[in-house]
Amino acid sequence: MPDMYRALGDLTRRRILMMLKHGNKTQKEIVDSFHISQPAIKKHLKILVEEEIISETTNGKYRIYSLNHDKLQLAYQEVVQYIGELLDDQLVSLKNYVEKGEVLDHKD
């Protein structure tokens, strides 16, 4: 599974993904949309490609990037399941606490 936290943990990478949701982009188009260096953008693209969130193809001298919809869908489902399990655990703990009739002792 792609590491969504690594992929989405940076604003620049999230902005790149938002650009790609509107269609494939060349590396130049992506670089031109930011006020940071081309090597910095390449680093962000590399992370997204490594996590298989986006795909990279070449057409002549151009690198073209596109969203990898299948991997994104799978990662989304796994993140939702993970968060659901975390919340379920918290709800079970709260239920057990309430059922025991424990009352917090507030000291002011």
- pTM here is 0.74
What DSSP designation does 63 have?
A: E
Burial 12-34 (b: 16+ CB within 10 A, else e): bbeebbebbeeeebebeebbeee
pLDDT of residue 102: 56
| Percentage of the chain modeled with pLDDT above 90 | 56
pLDDT of residue 17: 95
| Domain 1-99, second-level architecture | Orthogonal Bundle (1.10)
Sheet arrangement for strand 62-67:
25-26, 62-67, 54-59
Query: Average model confidence (pLDDT) for the chain?
Result: 87
pLDDT of residue 58: 94
